[in-house]
A and B are shown apart, each in its own frame.
Chain A
């Protein structure tokens, strides 16, 4: 195993919810004593159902949020204090891709200017280099010549490519994708997954890939961590997880994946067939 790039040790994050008017606030433990190590160059997929704490874990891993207990270490160091100079540098090194590209982009600014803004914020470069870098990354994600478009002039798949371009132009080490392909059609999803996989090799990226789709997790993940109610209940190499799931919840999830073909249809049909016979 390569050196660990991200380590989470006993991380817990709680939220208070409710508490309006006369009701007492209730404390929800979104992430509960989670430990996770992600090695350099690895794709770690995190799967689980809505409310299992996947997104909170992603935000903690990115340093957008700090844990109530436990620690998050990036290359062996905790994230710097927000606003400080080292913190600014870290922001470039860890990049985040959200589920909905149309809300992640500014509807009033061209794609090129939104990608270029990353360079202005994180690097010093002259206008010519800047333009060159923007064109280069747009070409790489398959949006060559579309830099002057506004988000509304692009399809969902193109927008997600633009978001990837914006994340990758500063050459991050860790890319965290939170349901990055969930809102896309299967055909477009395949395009984006292919692009992500080739960019990963080219940029030597380490990835945390949050998804509720076990098929996607299996396709991209070297390793899969299964979350349930804020905890990681199973965390293993992808092949093992699918062949020999250990935790009951993993088995439940695997059993709920729709059949690949009608020949493999679920048991209730077989039961109906038996009743008919």
Chain B
């Protein structure tokens, strides 16, 4: 998947070629195989497989209700009754899907950490934010309180919180959404996890703060080589941060490819439709090519291809037979009876 960078007249590369980053991308840090999350007999996430390598960012995209967040929650081992999860989750080569809760606590926060979508809801409202970050350090073995204190200040500095000593004493309600999100990120990176799961970490933030957070995640990745699974529905964010993209629809991955392929030559009609309906791509004021209808409820999925009812290219076969995943070169895959030809 090496695409040439664009070279300007004076010879300087304005776009980093893919291989400048792929140099740092190593072996699989996390691989999820045939993950399903069910409520009773209804599969909310069905046979989903994903993998992300050291130093790599995988973006998970799709509309609300496609199972993006549930997939993350399942990876973290946070699926609770009435939901059940099955499938294999290998973290740094070790199976964690069937670890008992106590063992999992040793893994969560240290090897794999998660940034939740709504920081206000994820932080404890009646504990100072510094103490909340210190708790993670204490759970994972920093025994000296003084050391934890220093560590928290260093982390706050790292995530760009102004005046760390003062912010550490603040309660979540005294901080803005962007600041709370930075606290969440500080907490997530406190033990230098090998894998970071970020569930829409910038969706609730202003664009300027979003740009700072994306940059911060990038820098942290460059420093520590962590793998990032980044959930978003914003394709602009995908363009900024992804190395690889997995598109989810109604609980399944329908397409996966490198970020340049996804933007340059999307193959699944759903990916193409998502790309087309972004504002800012067409002439202002003209009608946007919207996707008609909505994502089917997991209990009411159609026979055949799940996307067929909303698809412009659906033929007779699509209505009766589910689309199987076809694998292409360099890890790309697409689940469609009539995918656009690969370029």
Contacts and interface: CB of A to CB of B under 8 A. Distances in A.
Contacts of A262: 239-240, 242, 259-260, 263
A270 interface: yes
Interface string B1-37: 0000110000001111100110100000000000000
Interface stretch (A68-76, A165-173, A214-222): A214-222
B285 A185 contact: no
B222 A272 contact: yes
Contacts of A214: 207
A252 B281 CA distance: 21
Interface stretch (B44-52, B140-148, B228-236): B228-236
A261 B239 contact: yes
Interface string A105-141: 0000000000000000000000000000000000000
B236 A270 contact: no
B278 A186 contact: yes
Contacts of B93: none
A270 B208 contact: no
A51 to B, nearest CB: 8
B260 A218 contact: no
Interface stretch (A81-89, A92-100, A188-196): A188-196
Interface residues of B, number: 54
A268 B5 CA distance: 15
A27 interface: no
Interface residues of A, number: 48
B177 to A, nearest CB: 7
Nearest to A187: B291
- Most chain B CB neighbours (cut-off 10 Å) among A214, A238, A258, A262: A262
B288 A261 contact: no
A194 B287 contact: yes
B284 A258 contact: no
B91 to A, nearest CB: 27
A257 B236 contact: yes
B207 A218 contact: no
B207 A197 contact: no
A197 B285 contact: yes
| In the complex, the 7 A-B pairs of residues with the closest C-beta atoms, listed nearest first | A258-B236, A273-B16, A190-B290, A215-B280, A190-B277, A190-B288, A49-B206
Interface of B: 5-6, 13-17, 20-21, 23, 63-64, 176-177, 206-211, 214-215, 218-219, 222, 233-237, 239-240, 242, 259-260, 263-264, 273-274, 277-282, 284-285, 287-292, 294
Given A194-B288, A260-B278, A273-B16, 4 more contacts: A193-B279, A257-B280, A258-B236, A259-B240
